[in-house]
Structure 1
Amino acid sequence: MSFTLAIVGRPNVGKSTLFNRLVGKKLALVDDQPGVTRDLREGDARLADLRFTVIDTAGLEQATDESLQGRMRALTERAVQMADLCLFIIDARVGVTADDLVFAEILRRKADGRVLLAANKAEGNAGDAGYYEAFSLGLGEPIALSAEHGEGLDELRHALMPWHDRFAAERRAAERQVALDAEGAPEEHDPTKPMQIAVMGRPNAGKSTLINAILGEDRLLTGPEAGITRDSIGLNVTWGDRPFKLFDTAGIRKKAKVQEKLEKLSVSDGLRAVRFAEVVIILLDVTIPFETQDLRLADLAEREGRAVIFAVNKWDLAEDKNQTLAALKEMRDRLLPQLAGAPLVTVSALTGRGLERLREAIVTTYEIWNKRVSTSRLNDWLIEQVQQHPPPAPGGRRIRLRYMTQAKARPPTFIVFCSKPEDMPTSYSRFLVNGLRRDFDMPGVPIRLELRKRENPFADRKTHRATKLRKRPGPPRD
């Protein structure tokens, strides 16, 4: 990407709508209610032949204290400082407000001239007055936009092009200097894709605080208020020696308590993140662990076929740690037998303790999720299991298990060919799954077992022979 563009402005001026338009996907939540966006969200933007990174920010508000609005403003100001260029948006229908004047002055001080001005919602003639008012902000000629209808994007591209060329030249110069400094050093390239990790849990469990601790910076908005996170934010980080992509999700309450449209959108966004993840961290609060909602989230991750890790947060508040840990493991295996033995790691997101153990558990569980077992080992194991615990014999004829193979990994999926799969009781299938998990060391990952009836290679030949006999002409009639 050639440069980074931060979209800033008052709440409800259309920043997230423009962000979605530029990235070509509905990544950011959009609603008529102001203040929907709270965290910084990055995306790969495309505008004709331009490629750049765009950052969606929270609406600027006149609050500088430690309130939620004040922390949102501080996070937005941080995005202004780290971005190459800022796009300041006003609402053309409303015109320039007192807040716009204040924030234009802030951008003049902090953005060091790296500001473009846009008047959004300028479709038709309704925004003409606001468009001309925007000249009074002293940030140059405004760009008339309609993010919702895709109007004015060509003018935005022309305004970005000089900045694109400037930043591209600066980066080429920097890369040449780096190449000169590193001349003679061996070239290193890691083709490994980032591991996709989703962090889920109930509201106020500490998900954003945990991700900030992993990142080593306050990138996500945090605080004592429940439900601060609304979008599923994806952040790239090199943790240890491996690349990860961490998804912070909104806290999910019981379905009956989710009434507001905005919260429903947040929950839906979080559940979608699980489907794209490879490993799901269920973050528990040590003071109230394994509540009904925690169990539902873990069951959802298992049904989606994702590897699961339980991270117990606020561990510094636990009194008798050994007894508490033993009780947590007992609850995990009793309440979630389908995830028996899943890693249970104690952490403190506030102090950063336990993060290295969490990283090791993620890497180990990910490798198990990708594990493959050879067909010969599986069939030797199957013979042993049948000898120790023969399958049932419905109707007096025992079900014969003939052959076993692994169809795929991610999650490990096995196929057993048998004589009467429709008569196999669930209890015996569970016995086989538990044996696979135990004997091939696969704790914490879903295991799929499919029973199939082996095709009879002589069936078609017999059918063909019977058909020929029926068609053979009989003796001539008188």
Structure 2
Amino acid sequence: MSFTIAIIGRPNVGKSTLFNRLVGQKLALVDDMPGVTRDRREGEAKLGDLQFTIIDTAGLDEGPKGSLTARMQEQTETAIALADALFFVIDARAGLTPADRAFADFARRADKPVLLLANKSEGKHGELGAMESYALGLGDPIQISAEHGEGMGELYDALRGLVPETEDEVDEHEETDEERAARPIRVAIVGRPNAGKSTLINHLLGEERLLTSPEAGTTRDSIAVEIEYKGRGFRIFDTAGLRRRSRIEEKLEKLSVADALRAVRFAEVVVLMMDAQNRFEEQDLRIADLIEREGRALVIAVNKWDLMESKPGQISALRHDVDHWLPQVSGVPIVAVSGLMGEGIDRLMQAIVESYAVWNRRVPTAALNRWFEEAIANNPPPAVSGRRLKLNYITQTKARPPSFVLFCSRADAIPQSYLRYLINSMRETFELPGTPVRITLREKANPFAHKRKRPS
């Protein structure tokens, strides 16, 4: 495992800004309101030629036992236990506070190397606050501005003696099927607020890794966790709940939603989690449509199934509802689960693996040609303006998701209903349930177009 550093400090001192600076992208949400970060977040950081794992944590704060604040602190304590060294961050503009002094003692008791970072040190006020930090007894403060990138050279000099040297390894060859099979499947878990996404992931991990609460909106960042399930690796992203746009009012919630959408685009398989007692609401359907438009494999998990009254035919009714409400992803896998009780987890993980395989599928050319001839013979394309449309041939251009180019005459005249017929027939013939299927129309070049008409 690489050298690991945890960023700690009281709320709103700029920990997440520093995290984003070191990983080179805006992974952690940043806002002026204290307490934005709740779960701990890991990333691969680089500073000059130094490479290490960085952990962003919730601000160290006190709260009653069992409260959300107290559990946020437990997450921070876990991060400290996992780390090889600590970045203790203070706000140089605000100067030292009683909370800084209390948590400096906390960092000292961790018995690990601690670098004291006086953030927001730009300007005269910042310099005075940095000088105050000597009183913490954690050595010389390193004056930085995480937002503007100032002081990174000084931070590098202090880190160089702590982080083991690593050699950059550049891998330029294309990924093979065997390498893809060995790589973790990227899975995003999305849904409306309070659908039980974090509870499900905690059950998979066997620990309280992600904060959960009856209050909707507990998760704000998209948090990635690595798990291994029955010998297969998964990188699972827990995301903030997605509300209707009209209900997204606070700036912070807008950032959380944007972060969740980035997780969908980064994922290979997306699990749409619905509440069993309030399923197939308008927002569920919008999220499913978004996933299909982004071209990601989809699995639907109906959570809190343990709260449903047991009746015969419930799963069949679910299947009927999915095909009725989501015809654009006909045959999508649907699994009834209970994240709290751990019911249906095996079926869900198997559905993820199978959906990933379908998403990567390539159809053999000979089989594709046979299907194409039969599909046209069984249901010829309609005539438009008295002229019959001619479909020449079809070829698969890529997988992830399965994408095809159909060469034809008058591409703009082919109705969407006929394309849906081809896609549904293809799904059934080649067993492509649930995954998006793309057909792009392209007009075949007319070999006689360059010839001039003979004069009459």
Same fold at TM > 0.5: yes
1:417 aligns with 2:417: no
Q: Does 1:197 align with 2:196?
A: no
SS of equivalent to 2:163:
helix
Match of residue 180 from structure 1: none
Distance in 1, matches of 2:112 and 2:410, equals: 75
Q: Which residue of 2 aligns with 1:118?
A: 117
Q: Is the CA contact 2:118–2:144 (under 8 Å) kept in the aligned structure 1?
A: yes
Correspondence for 2:91:
91
Counterpart residue number, 1:46: 46
Per the TM alignment, residue 64 of structure 1 is displaced from its structure 2 partner at its CA by: 4.4
| Corresponding position of 1:132 | 131
**TM-score, with length taken from structure 1:** 0.89
Q: 1:445-468: per-residue Cα shift (whole Å, max 9, x none)?
A: 0111223222233433x34xx5xx
1:450 matched residue in structure 2: 440
Q: How does 1:208-357 map to 2 (within 5 A)?
A: 208-357=198-347
Give the Cα separation in 2 of the matches to 1:141 and 1:91. 15
Question: 2:32 matched to 1:32?
Answer: yes
> Residues 366 and 113 of structure 1: is their aligned pair in 2 closer, same or farther, counting only changes over 3 Å?
closer
- 1:144 is aligned to 143
Answer with 274-283 or 115-124: which moved more: 115-124
Distance 1:286 1:451, change over 3 A: same
AA at the equivalent of 2:340: L
Letter in 2 for 1:26: K
Alignment partner, residue 399 of structure 1: 389
Where does 1:167-186 land on structure 2 (aligned, <5 Å)?
Answer: none
Deviation at 1:215, TM superposition (A): 2.3
User: TM-score, structure 2 length as denominator?
Assistant: 0.93
Larger C-alpha radius of gyration, 1 or 2?
A: 1
SS at match of 2:313: helix
Q: CA 1:113–1:447 in structure 2 vs 1: closer, same or farther (change >3 Å)?
A: closer
CA RMSD of superposed structures (Å):
2.0
* 8 Å contact kept, 1:2–1:164: no
- The alpha-carbon deviation at position 190 of structure 1 amounts to 8.5
- Determine the structure 2 residue equivalent to 1:61: 61
Contiguous gaps of at least 5 residues in structure 1: 169-187, 471-478
Q: Which runs of 5+ in 2 are unaligned?
A: 167-177
**Contact 1:318 1:324 (8 Å CA) reproduced:** no
- Verify the 8 A CA contact 1:198 1:248 in the aligned structure 2: yes
Deviations 1:331-382 (A, max 9, x none): 1111110011100011111122222211111111111111111222122112
Q: How many residues align?
A: 444
1:384 is aligned to 2:374:
yes
Task: Supply the distance in 2 between the matched residues of 1:67 and 1:40 (Cα, whole angstroms).
Answer: 17
Question: In 1, are the aligned partners of 2:86 and 2:112 still within 8 Å (CA)?
Answer: no
Q: Classify the secondary structure of the residue corresponding to 1:319.
A: coil
Q: CA deviation at 1:418?
A: 2.4
Task: Provide the residue aligned with 2:364 in structure 1.
Answer: 374
Q: Does 1:71 align with 2:61?
A: no
Check whether the contact 2:84–2:112 (CA below 8 A) recurs between aligned residues: no
CA change 1:4–1:321 in 2 (3 A) is farther
- 1:174 alignment counterpart: none
Q: Is the 8 A contact 1:38 1:57 kept in 2?
A: yes
- Secondary structure class of the residue paired with 1:126: helix
Asked if the contact 1:16–1:29 (Cα under 8 Å) also holds between the matched residues in 2, the reply is: yes
Q: Distance in 1 between matches of 2:12 and 2:112?
A: 24
Letter in 2 for 1:130: G
Deviates more, 1:44-53 or 1:189-198: 189-198
For 2:324, the aligned partner's letter is R
Q: CA deviation at 1:243?
A: 2.0
Q: Does the 8 A contact of 1:62 with 1:99 survive in 2?
A: no
Distance 1:364 1:202 in 2: 25
1:422 to partner: Cα distance: 2.3
Could you report, residue by residue, the CA deviation over 1:18-39 in whole angstroms, capped at 9, with x for unpaired residues? 1111111111111111111111
> Partner letter of residue 222 of structure 1?
T
Secondary structure, counterpart of 2:273 in structure 1: strand
